[in-house]
A = this chain, B = another copy of it.
Amino acid sequence: MRQAGRYLPEYREIRSGHGFWEMMTTPDLAAEVTMQPLRRFGMDAAILFSDILTVVAAMGLEVRYETGGPVLGPLVRDAAGLERLKAPGRAAFGFVAEAVRLLRAELRDAHALIGFAGAPFTLAAYMACGGPSKSTFALKAMAHREPALYDALLTRVADAVAELLAAQIEAGADAVQIFDTWSGQLGPDDFAALALPYTRRVVERLGAPGVPILLYVRNAAGNLEQAAASGATVVAVDGSLRLAEARARLPKGTGLQGNFDPALMTAPPERIRRDVVAAVDALRGTPYVVNVGEGLTPDTPPEGVAAFVEAVKETAR
Contact = CB atoms under 8 A, between A and B. Distances in A.
Contact of A144 (B190, B239, B263): B263
Contacts of A137: 262-263, 297, 299
A263 B221 contact: no
Interface in A114-154: 134-138, 140-141, 144-145
Contacts of A185: 239
Interface residues of A, number: 35
Interface string A200-229: 000000000000000000010110000000
B242 A138 contact: no
B145 A266 contact: yes
B241 A187 contact: yes
Contacts of A267: 144-145
Nearest to A271: B144
A269 to B, nearest CB: 11
Contact of A140 (B135, B186, B261, B268): B261
B189 A264 contact: no
Given A134-B134, A221-B222, A186 B239 contact: yes
A197 interface: no
A213 to B, nearest CB: 24
A122 B134 CA distance: 18
The CB with the most chain B CB atoms within 10 A, among A266, A268, A299, is that of A266
Nearest to A262: B137
A89 interface: no
Nearest to A275: B189
A135 B145 CA distance: 33
Contacts of A138: 299
A219 B219 CA distance: 7
A176 B188 CA distance: 29
Interface in A242-284: 242, 259, 261-264, 266-268, 271
Contacts of A190: 239, 261
Interface in A285-301: 293, 297, 299
5 contacts: A137-B299, A141-B266, A144-B264, A221-B241, A240-B240
Interface of A: 68, 134-138, 140-141, 144-145, 185-190, 219, 221-222, 239-242, 259, 261-264, 266-268, 271, 293, 297, 299
Given A144-B267, A187-B239, A187-B242, 8 more contacts: A135-B297, A137-B299, A141-B263, A144-B268, A185-B239, A186-B239, A190-B239, A219-B221
Q: Which 10 A-B pairs have the closest CB atoms?
A: A140-B263, A221-B222, A221-B221, A144-B267, A141-B266, A187-B239, A222-B240, A144-B266, A222-B241, A219-B240
